[in-house]
């Protein structure tokens, strides 16, 4: 279904990114897995290749523009082109009140969650051919504050505006951009949130969260041509129509 397409997935060493890389590859795309933990990305890429897919890995801290441009150059070198960017890398820390958060930790969060997303977009736009797709992995936190998450909420709110800015400047027949808020998903990020105990999300049980395969299915569907009428939008797992169209069970 996605044969001939080349995708970069950031934050692919675990969680939603790893599952999305597996799903894109299962649908025929060649996938470059990007994260700081390159060994973990290599392992997942090897597993994808064993299952008959195409995948490779590159270590990259998305908050460093030189590393980002190098990762994109390596992707085009490995697979010959770039069609899809899944901007998924993200951190929840620092979990601390506005009053108490460490200023450098706060700035580091914005560097990864917001500047890092922009760096990837800038490098991908330079590498896309006639068409490209960008999925920015957003959050409910982009639209509603949560106690202790001021950096995360501000970064994700900024990312939602980045999505709208791309949609405003670049016609959707050239680049289709989507924001996608996946709901709460059973990953290490949620384990960190649970351990913090700071707000109602931290009180949720593991079994209340979506499995990683759910966002992977929706994100991969958004990368396909048939989602193009939704381009430019900030979408959410609560959207029943989206869930149905992406093929999730009721």
| Active site positions, annotated | 152
How far apart are CB 134 and ligand NAP at their closest, in Å? 14
* Antiparallel, parallel or unpaired: β 84-87 and 175-181: unpaired
Query: Applying CB under 6 A, which part among 21-29, 124-132, 184-192, 221-229 lies near ligand NAP?
Result: 184-192
Could you say which of 62, 135, 216, 246 contacts ligand NAP (CB under 6 A)?
Answer: 62
How far apart are CB 74 and ligand NAP at their closest, in Å? 14
CB neighbours of residue 25 within 10 Å: 26
The whole-angstrom separation of Cα 181 and Cα 239 is 10
Could you say which of 29, 112, 125, 216 contacts ligand NAP (CB under 6 A)?
Answer: 112
Could you say which of 69, 70, 172, 184 contacts ligand NAP (CB under 6 A)?
Answer: 184
**What Å distances lie between residue 224 and 56, 128, 190, CA to CA?**
21, 16, 28
Q: Could you say which residues in the range 21-50 bind ligand NAP, by CB under 6 A?
A: 35-37
20: contact with ligand NAP by CB under 6 A:
no
Query: Applying CB under 6 A, which part among 42-50, 82-90, 143-151, 226-234 lies near ligand NAP?
Result: 82-90
Name the residue among 142, 226, 155 with its Cα closest to residue 181: 142
148: contact with ligand NAP by CB under 6 A:
no
Q: What are phi and psi of 233, to 5 degrees?
A: -100, 155
75: contact with ligand NAP by CB under 6 A:
no
222: contact with ligand NAP by CB under 6 A:
no
Which residue ranges make up the site for ligand NAP (CB under 6 A)?
10-17, 35-37, 60-63, 88-91, 112, 116, 137, 139, 182, 184-185, 187-190
């Amino acid at each position: 279904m996605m044969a001939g397409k080349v995708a970069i997935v950031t934050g692919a060493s675990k969680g939603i990114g790893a599952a999305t890389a597996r799903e894109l590859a299962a649908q025929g795309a060649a996938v470059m897995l990007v994260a700081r933990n390159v060994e973990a990305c290599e392992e997942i890429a090897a597993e994808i290749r064993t299952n008959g897919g195409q995948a490779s890995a590159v270590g990259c801290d998305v908050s460093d523009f030189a590393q980002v441009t190098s990762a994109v150059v390596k992707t085009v070198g490995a697979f010959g082109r770039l069609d899809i960017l899944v901007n998924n890398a993200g951190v929840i820390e620092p979990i601390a009140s506005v009053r108490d958060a460490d200023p450098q930790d706060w700035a580091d969060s914005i560097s990864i969650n917001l500047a890092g997303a922009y760096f990837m977009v800038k490098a991908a736009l330079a590498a896309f051919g006639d068409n490209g797709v960008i999925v920015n992995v957003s959050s409910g936190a982009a639209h509603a504050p949560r106690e202790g998450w001021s950096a995360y909420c501000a970064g994700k709110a900024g990312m939602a505006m980045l999505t709208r800015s791309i949609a405003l400047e670049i016609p959707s027949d050239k680049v289709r951009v989507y924001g996608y808020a996946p709901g709460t998903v059973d990953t290490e990020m949620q384990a960190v949130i649970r351990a913090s105990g700071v707000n109602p999300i931290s009180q949720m049980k593991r079994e209340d969260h979506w499995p990683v395969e759910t966002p992977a299915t929706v994100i991969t569907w958004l990368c396909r041509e048939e989602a193009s009428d939704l381009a430019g939008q900030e979408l959410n797992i609560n959207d029943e129509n989206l869930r149905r169209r992406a093929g999730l069970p009721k």
